[in-house]
Amino acid sequence: MTAPTPPAPWAPGSGRGAQGGVPQMSQEKEEKTGPAGAGWTLMEVCARHAAERGGHTAVICEDRRTSYASLHRDSSRAAHALLASGLGRGSRVAYLGRESEHYYTAVLACAKAGAVIVPVNWRLTAGEVAHILADSGAELLFVDEEFAATAEQVLSGEAAGALHTVVRLDGRAADGARDRGAGLRAWYAGFPEQAPEPGTGADDAVLQIYTSGTTGLPKGVVIAHRTFFTLPEAIRAAGAGGGDWIDWRATDVSLISLPGFGIAGLGWFLHGLCAGATHVVMPMYAAGEAVRLIGQYGVTITFVAPAMLQMMLDERGVTPESFASLRKIAYGAAPISPSLLQRSLAVFGCQLAQIYASTEAGSVAVCLPPSDHRVGSALLKAAGKVCPGNDIKIVDKDGNTLGPGEIGQVCIRTPARMLGYWRRPEATAAALAGGWLHMGDAGYLDADGYLFLCDRINDTIIVAGQNIYPAEVEKQLGEHPAVADAAVVGVPDERWGEAVHAAVVLRPGMAARPRELLLFLHGRLADYKIPIRYHVLDSLPRNPSGKILRRAVREQLGRSQTATPA
């Protein structure tokens, strides 16, 4: 794996355009003023922070600090290196590695070169990585040392597609120790610090994230620059009370704890970047380390999955003082139990905001704001209300709009939504039919416009014509003191069409017999919703966003020897 030798630094007026590698800078680019809004690009906001507050810390990772000036300078050099490697506007660039300042340098370099970053889930097998590289048409791959063997395996086959350049992020110091980012720095050394001008705008693609593939092969979701500006702009336009939703401030210290290969992790960073916040980055989430970082750096805001809240609260020695710096926690990506929510309200001592989104939505679509997080409130069961600038409706299978209390498919209209699925026009047309993003979730709106989710449309279990939403059953199972985690799926049944099965993970040192679980659910659920079999598993398969992979659960249940009828 070798990097190309950089040519002599380019000078304005040299005549080399996009085909030659480096486009000329625009000498008459209009300077934007005021808050960054929907017409901005990531390269513009990066340049603005570097000019106005370059000494402010942008990223802290493993105690290494990177200022906004350094991030702008390094990503500009890397952008020139991309262009010199033959990439330009619309080219795909893949990244296989954990989160760090080097990852964000690569993301912003792509933005400045007009290219599209394709983050690759580092948990995938070589075959799955090869699918993403081939499907995206990625021409260059950034890879860190930890996953170099996977990259080598992909390149040794015939599935590398258009890939022609691999850049190793890491290098070795004189003493042989690993030097994070040394390979990347060597690759862009000698290139200009001034950012190129690719001619891209707010509606141009900048990010392509592959869905987790809960059903079939993952699809590439193409996201534009505007995605990361529209929500903050709409909240500002809403005026008073806008900050009661979810907000990012220049004074924030934001903990990045979710993987950057998903929209939850990278989107959270990019929203904070647009605000000019400081980001404390975790290459790998560990609850004890998260608690330490919150205290050490005075973290003020973060986004987590409910399971991560539980793990932090369960850390030994944790008290409300451990989280004294926090002003707001956003949570989402999976259901939260009432008991965990109440415990979080008591211990974290800050505002809580639940958010509902998807990769295709690009940004937060629905939010249950802090003002609705009151102990005992029925609204704690809601996903929230549609965010400023967005619209929401519930439709039946024929596309007709349903009224309050009627369960159907959730549809969102948002300016932050994806441009489409990469090279899948039919899937794009179906997902964005009528200008509305069809979320794939079943739910209903109450009379006040609050969204209550029932489950994924494709996860609905139908027993003798009756719809059963697994999340409803899982929530009740999670209230049993011995149950740490639960997943409910439908399995084929000759008599009823499907039968309800439950997979449970028990708390350490605790036991629960199937009949005990069945009796616990009686009175809490209608009889037809209660699982007829219970399987005890060591853990439940989840995707990187924390959502249960029900297809994998069904496969596990097929192999499980611990299934017991109630």
pLDDT per residue as tens digits for the range 339-369? 888 899 999 999 999 999 999 999 999 999 9
Q: What is the DSSP letter of 41?
A: -
pLDDT band per the 50, 70, 90 thresholds, residue 337: confident
pLDDT band of 545, cuts 50, 70, 90: low
Q: State the pLDDT confidence band at 124, using cuts at 50, 70 and 90.
A: confident
What's the pLDDT score for residue 1? 41
Main-chain dihedrals φ then ψ at residue 356, nearest 5 degrees: -125, 125
| Residue 31: predicted pLDDT | 65
Query: According to the model, what pLDDT value does residue 243 have?
Result: 53
Pairing of strands 140-143, 165-168: parallel
The structural domains of the chain, ordered by start, are 36-220 (3.40.50.12780), 226-389 (3.40.50.12780), 460-565 (3.30.300.30)
Q: Is a pLDDT exceeding 90 seen at residue 336?
A: no
| pLDDT exceeds cutoff 50 at 17 | no
The yes-or-no verdict on residue 8 having pLDDT over 60 is no
Nearest partner of 194 among 440, 23, 400, judged by Cα: 23
CA dihedral 10, 16, 20, 23 (to 10 degrees): 80
Helix, strand or coil, per DSSP, at residue 180: coil
Per-residue pLDDT, 13: 26
Question: Worst-scoring range by mean pLDDT, 20-29, 46-55, 384-393, 436-445?
Answer: 20-29
> Mean pLDDT of all residues in the chain?
88
Does residue 221 contact residue 359 with C-beta atoms inside 8 Å? yes
Q: Which position has the higher pLDDT, 259 or 32?
A: 259
Q: What is the CA radius of gyration of the chain?
A: 24
Predicted local distance difference test score (pLDDT) of residue 389? 94
- pLDDT for residue 555: 81
Residue-wise pLDDT for 289-331, tens only, equals 999 999 999 999 999 988 889 899 999 999 999 999 999 999 9
**Whether pLDDT at 544 is above 90:** no
Which pLDDT band holds residue 560 (cuts at 50, 70, 90)?
low
pLDDT on residue 28? 41
Q: Which residues make beta-bridge pairs with 329?
A: 302, 352
Identify the pLDDT of residue 377.
87
* Model pLDDT, residue 256: 98
DSSP state of 300: -
In Å, how far from its chain's centre is CA 239? 27
Picking from 151, 186, 170, the residue whose alpha carbon sits closest to that of residue 81 is 186
Mean pLDDT of 105-113: 98
The mean per-residue pLDDT over the stretch 415-422 comes to 97
- Percent of the chain scoring above 90 in pLDDT: 67
Q: Has residue 9 got a pLDDT over 50?
A: no
Q: What pLDDT sits at residue 212?
A: 62
pTM above 0.85, yes or no: no
Pairing mode, strands 451-456 and 437-445: antiparallel
For strand 278-281 and strand 253-256, is the pairing parallel, antiparallel, or unpaired? parallel
Average pLDDT over residues 533-551: 84
Alpha helices in 222-374 (DSSP H): 227-238, 263-275, 287-297, 306-313, 338-348
Question: How far apart, in whole angstroms, are the C-alpha atoms of residue 69 and residue 83?
Answer: 21
Backbone angles phi and psi of 539, in degrees to 5: -160, 165
